[in-house]
Amino acid sequence: MTLLLVALGAAVGAPLRYLVDRAVQNRHEGDLPWGTLVVNVTGCLLLGFLVGGAAEGALSGSLVALLGTGLCGALTTYSTFGYETVRLFTTGLRLGALLNVTASVAAGLGAGYAGVAVAQALWG
């Protein structure tokens, strides 16, 4: 049953990642991968919230499998983040590559922490 929940979440997360990435990227000029940043930070926030809720006993393991492992796993994309960072670096946009890494890591960790904090505030 868990495998099916993960697959269902991923079936929603992957197309959602594509649509959000394109929508965000189409609104921003320049070379920085804003769409990837948005999906990754959003996924970190949601996963933090889910894990925090599960730790407080408010959310089931099945919901975490569906939305955390499935949806967030397909929504977020470390491989694209890595590729886009290397692309920035190799095309001479070294400052952009550094900015992409710094912003992605800081915002992702902050969003994960914020998600846990919100869950604890709601159910702790």
Residue spans of the domains in the chain: they are: 2-123
List, in order, residues 6 or more apart from 115 with CB less than 8 Å away.
Answer: 44, 45, 46, 47, 48, 49, 50, 51, 52
List, in order, residues 6 or more apart from 71 with CB less than 8 Å away.
Answer: 9, 10, 12, 13, 16, 46
pLDDT at 99: 98
pLDDT at 87: 98
Confirm or deny that 73 is annotated as ligand binding. yes
DSSP-derived 3-state class of residue 91: coil
Confirm or deny that 82 is annotated as ligand binding. no
Q: How does pLDDT run across 69-109, given as a tens digit for each residue? A: 999 999 999 999 999 999 999 999 999 999 999 999 999 99
Instruction: Count CB-CB contacts under 10 A for residue 58.
Output: 14
- Mean pLDDT calculated for residue range 8-24: 98
Q: How does pLDDT run across 32-41, given as a tens digit for each residue? A: 999 999 999 9
